[in-house]
Amino acid sequence: MIGSTAGAPAAAIAVVSAPRGESATWRLILRRPTFIAGALILAFWIVCALFGNAIAPDNPLAQQLLATNNAPSHAHLFGTDMLGRDVLSRVIVGARSILIITPLATLIGVVIGTALGLVMGYLGGVVDMVVGRVVEAVLALPLVIVALLFVVALGPSAPVIIVVIGFIFAPLIARTVRSAVLVESQLDYLSSARLLGEKPAHIMFVEILPNVLPAVLVEFTVRLGYAIFTVATLSFLGYGVQPPTPDWGADIAANYGVLGAGYWWETLFPALAIASLVIGVNLVTDSIEQVLAS
Amino acid sequence: MTTYLLRRLGLAVITLWILSMIVFFAGQILPGDPGRAVLGPLAAPSAVRALDHELGVDRPLLTQYVSWIGGLLHGNMGTSYTFRTPVEPFISAALVNSAKLGALAFVVVVPLGILGGVIAALNVGRLPDRVISVTGLSAATVPEFVSGIVVIVIFGVELKWFPVSASAGQGASALSQLDHLILPAVPLVFVLFGYIARMARAGTIEALESDYARTATLKGLKRSVVIRRHILRNSLLPTITVIATQTGYLIGGLVVVETLFNYQGIGLLIFHAAGDKDFPMLEAGVLTIGVVYMVATLIADLLSTLLNPRLRLGGTG
């Protein structure tokens, strides 16, 4: 789903030239109904991730082998799974793994990608060419497949997934930052800095970086959406958080075999949880983009 | 024009080469050795060494890469660790199956996406536009297995309209195959619809605001004629490119959809190869996807160059 990156550089350019003050921009973002809706969804899942064990009505790991595959009822609002575990509790506690992994992976990608992008855009040269080619090659593969390839090779664990996704994101983010830097480098303040004899490192990280931060912020939220998509998919394929730890993708994988028997609640509720988280992130991303682009 | 094509081809070759390195070395960072991975922890060390030697994985990395890439250039994609036979027959059979599923998804989503985008553009900012845009964005970002499960629950389990498994069995009629492919195609349509609709919408809006559209309206042409003859032709150009770009993401979705519906395509092949740590199969599968994607992008570039006179005459190309 790297597909929409085609439009990203243009958006980044628009972002950079936004003339408004920072606080005014934030007020505009906070006032958008789509932002409020998205932020509420995100806040809900963050609370679940932080205090899941306290909120959950049952122990998400407790098996009741006499109450397996029970349909939703008063005792179990979302029913029980094939081991008799409370689905609602697993959905609530399952927010934790994905909400730890995806922001960290995105952060790694944004930090490395921004540094690379600054160097590519400002210094150009060999780094620019090499990273540009690598981006093309990485873009030729679906994100899920590149991630799968590396995670299989390195063995599935949370740190591996975080680092792999971060490293795949880095060149893609670098490309967006690069085009934002190219716009900046034609502006007067940079020629002044250069005439003052500032070192390239100072110009890149002290002069340019603050001006491309809005583009970086948009890039973070967009990539966070892709990260959630990818991590959930890896989990579903069996290369994410390992059972019995509650995890939405892994729980779906464990239970979709009995879908044909009519036990839909064991897979549908974690599926809806993933869908709501992804939509929440996208509502937030969309409102930030809309305001910064206008 | 020729220079542009040659340059484009040259870049594609370099990209493929980098891709082959990424794919190969990803397969080689595996801790431990393939012989051990295939035979399991209880096998005798001598058996592991013998298998490593038979598979050729006890040679230096660079030698392995050179012989792998040399094989690829001769159409030899390697030998499966699991089956101990060449991987090509598996790859080509799986590719045919995936192409069937992908083609069905495309046949449905392309007209639907373009229609949605044009309707949204003709109603910019009004309800139909908001509904189409927000639905498209949400559907595009929900993982395929999530929408796949919702679809299975509704149409497979509750309504029982379609079979839940994608495989129609050996020698099934084309119609029965199609029946089995409808549910798996739906999540792919969901994911692709948003992008195609968004491109078609943007292209149509741009065309609507153009001078030639205003001229056509001012000279008294009917709105439907203006849309058909002047707007659509121009708005569909960028859409062609986006459709080709989506081929790669379609294949990414296939891994998940084929696993969910147990359909013997390239996605399921990669999934099983990953599970068995069958790296030659995995590498061949992933590289095949990369090649399919690059060919699709190349064709898209050619098409949009051919269809756009400004690019054809070498202005901005």
pLDDT tens, residue by residue, B213-269: 788 888 888 877 787 777 777 777 767 777 776 776 777 788 888 888 888 889 899
What would the mean pLDDT of B277-298 be, rounded to a whole number? 84
Buried b (16+ CB within 10 A) or exposed e, A186-225: eeeebeebeeeeeeeeebbeebbbebbebbbbbbbbbbbb
Torsion from C-alpha of A96, A98, A104, A107, nearest 10 degrees: -130
What is the structure's pLDDT at A42?
93
Residues paired with residue B86 on neighbouring β-strands, in sequence order: B79
Q: For residue B43, name the pLDDT band (cuts at 50, 70, 90).
A: confident
* Percent with pLDDT over 90 in chain B: 0
Q: Does A288 touch chain B (CB under 8 A)?
A: no
Q: Does A153 touch chain B (CB under 8 A)?
A: yes
CB < 8 Å to B297, chain A:
140
Q: Does B61 touch chain A (CB under 8 A)?
A: no
Q: For residue B16, name the pLDDT band (cuts at 50, 70, 90).
A: confident
- Each residue of A219-271: pLDDT tens digit? 898 889 889 988 998 998 888 888 788 889 888 888 887 777 778 888 889 98
Q: Using the predicted structure, report yes or no on whether residue B310 has a pLDDT greater than 70.
A: no
Give residue A239's Cα distance to chain centre: 17
Residue A197 backbone class (left: φ over 0; alpha: ψ -120 to 50; beta: rest): left
Gyration radius from chain B CA atoms: 24
**Facing residue for A148 by CB, picked from B22, B147, B274:** B274
Q: Give me the interface pTM, i.e. the ipTM.
A: 0.75
Low-confidence ranges of chain A (pLDDT < 50): 1-18
Tokens of B222: 């009917």
Query: How many Cβ atoms sit within 10 Å of the Cβ of residue A141?
Result: 27
What is the structure's pLDDT at A1?
38
What is the structure's pLDDT at B308?
66
How many helices and strands in chain A, by DSSP H and E?
A: 13, 0
**Facing residue for A260 by CB, picked from B143, B157, B275:** B157
Q: Using the predicted structure, report yes or no on whether residue B167 has a pLDDT greater than 90.
A: no
What is the structure's pLDDT at A18?
46
Window B:190-209, CB contacts with A under 8 Å: 191, 195
Q: How far apart are CA B150 and CA B235, in angstroms?
A: 33
Residues paired with residue A80 on neighbouring β-strands, in sequence order: A86
What would the mean pLDDT of B30-38 be, rounded to a whole number? 63
Tokens of A251: 């729980």
What would the mean pLDDT of B123-131 be, rounded to a whole number? 80
What is the structure's pLDDT at B32?
54
Look at B289 and A279 and tell me if their CB atoms are within 8 Å: no
Angle between helices B144-151 and A209-237 (to 10 degrees): 50
Contact A259, B157 (CB under 8 A): yes
Which 8-state DSSP code applies to residue B32? S
**Would you call A264 helix, strand, or coil by DSSP?**
coil
Q: For residue B1, name the pLDDT band (cuts at 50, 70, 90).
A: low
CB contact set of A206 (below 8 Å; sequence gap of 6+): none
Q: Does B152 touch chain A (CB under 8 A)?
A: yes
What is the structure's pLDDT at A126?
83
- Each residue of B45-87: pLDDT tens digit? 787 777 777 777 777 777 778 877 887 787 777 788 778 788 8
What is the structure's pLDDT at A9?
44
Residues paired with residue B79 on neighbouring β-strands, in sequence order: B86
Q: Tokens 């549910």 identify what position?
A: B183
What is the pTM (predicted TM-score) of this model? 0.80
Q: How far apart are CA B203 and CA B207, in angstroms?
A: 6
CB < 8 Å to A272, chain B:
146, 150
What is the structure's pLDDT at A20?
55
Q: How far apart are CA A201 and CA A207, in angstroms?
A: 9
What is the structure's pLDDT at A13?
45
